[in-house]
Structure 1
Amino acid sequence: MSKKFTILITIILIISIGLLGCGKSANEAGSKETSGDKKVYKLSFNVQIPATHKFHTDVVKPWADLVEKETNGKIKIEIYNSGALGTLATAYDDIKGGVYDIGYVSPGLHLDSNLYPLTIGDLPFGITDPKVKADVLGQLSDKYMKDAFKESTLLSISSTDSYQLYSKEPVKSIKDVKEQKIIAQGSERIETVKGWGGVPVSLGLEQIYESLEKNTVNQTTYTSVGAVGLKLYEVAPYLTKIDLGATTLLFLMNTEALNKLPDDLKQQFVEELGPKLGEMTGEMYKSQADAAMKEYGEKVKSKGGQVTTLSSEELKAFKKPSEKIWNHWAEEANKKGYPGDEILKEFEKLIEKEGVELPF
């Protein structure tokens, strides 16, 4: 074998090994690498929103930076935007299965799972404050869900700001939503739209803008912070303030990935960094909600759009159909083997204690 040929084979082998080293997939739970004398643990974090959304710029990215700083660079968070590793509808199974290490779950999209008791947090016209949501659901979780989190570990509970109604034409009374196609996520909101006489359309967050743009739907329910992030003012120039309620967000981590961390980092993640993620989320949504609605109003002025605040009588008409949804929740919980009536009474007692007025 010639010397030149031997050198050529050596170069090819070196390149091949290098390429193989770059081939790590995002779902290798808790993957680690060595940087000098320090082991670095990489954790994948899948989020449904684009990098321009405030949830990314004000929460996810700063939290990832905080994790790296507080662990002295031992943990690095790799962020995957726009649901690159999975949709919100599959999030619970994806986290448990290790498709990615960290994510958030909306319990209302997983009605047949052991997260069902926490779907109470999304009852229409219930809790609109993220901090109240975290406190109330945290107490219910401790009392009724002690064995719920095994394959995934609960890091924290938070929520978005309250859902409002966005439309292509003005909505000033419940008559303006009848027979309209309205995007709604989660069973409670879907039933709410039906109660209004509307036609609920269940679509993912990534489909809201395009559906309004193409006139596939006429209206959508969504948060004010989220609506600005998705630039819905470009396709839906009318915002009607109804405070339908906030979406519960459970921040979960794949338990196998968590257990791969050294004990000190594991403890820090569960006791400090995980709760901080929920806290930052709640603070952002709560502080930005009013500013987002104001910004939305300014953005749609040139289109002839506006932000509408309903009269108390008109708002009552929107709330009325939801009473049976609250009662139905308890019935369904009973069927699933939970003490539904007890949980509902406890929920109502807790939110009243927090100063929240029951809607009916």
Structure 2
Amino acid sequence: MSITTVAAYAAPSAKAPLERTTVPRRPVGEHDVLIDIKYAGICHSDIHQARDGWGEGIYPMVPGHEIAGLVAEVGDGVTKFKVGDRVGVGCFVDSCRECEYCKQGLEQYCSGAGVSTYNSLGKDGEPTYGGYSTHIVVDENYTLRIPEGVGLDEAAPLLCAGITLYSPLAHWNAGPGKKVAIVGLGGLGHMGVKIAHALGAEVTVLSQSLRKQEDGKKLGADHFYATSDPKTFEDLAGTFDLIISTVSAPLDFSAYLSLVKTDGALVNVGAPEEPISLNLFSLIGGRKTLAGSMIGGIAETQAMLDFCALHGLGAEIEVIRADQINEAYERVINSDVRYRFVIDTATI
């Protein structure tokens, strides 16, 4: 099988609507797998990048780093996969493989030549194109196995939303006896609730209103509070071992830090385009940690997929046609999705 160009949806320039086009794919190399993409999730970061929200992008840009599909071809040296295997691709498709972080399995923090799934330059100097397309070629070492316990459509968002929450929950030891709060019940937050609950933590959702309270409880939340109510911050002062903020808008971090126990942590996985301000006394007064976390390495992402399959956890999704992508972007911005759009790539 030889595929040199594939159908895709791309943003031709910053802030332009996405449109159907074709993009090149490299030949399948010795250690590559060709993936027939079945589903691609829409992450808020796709919108930030397609619209130049995080800095100058590479256009045309094919977003998509929540990819699920089937292996269609393997290179001669591939040992990890065979044709027909259920596989996924997350936020990066290569790294330097030599720095201290790559050697620790923390490829997401590669200090050398990390290569994002899209809006990046590969080691060949060519732009990378993401999952809003019919096929992708990826090195076997950056390809994930999707277990049978979760459908490909519900698995696609796990490759970003799932690992983005699993990694900090695991790193900060969420589990029995720990009180964990998830800020925002969206594409990221709803997976945080599911995973934290499955880990055995006592889970609270902190949302702007109580509109999604019923959903939160169904997903595994023990408690649900509205952050628009000042009484929430009075009642929950000093409550949580761990708070994970998933929102992509600036928060009053001093107020949220007041909810953290001494020696607890507030971890940010949302990435607002604007800078934040912080009163450092909100940290000093309880030996608290304000931290960040970004996706996970390959081994940890595989562990997350296995964990989700074991516990029957997939994303809550709305499957759309490719010609609905631009409409979906506007709905994501307006928080009008429960809880992740997934593109049926057969419609590209």
Which gives a bigger RCO, structure 1 or 2 (Cα 8 Å, sep 6+)? 1
- Structure with the bigger percentage of helix: 1
TM-score if structure 2 supplies the norm length?
0.27
Larger Rg: 1
TM-score between both structures, scaled by the size of structure 1: 0.26
The structure in which a higher percent of residues are strand is: 2
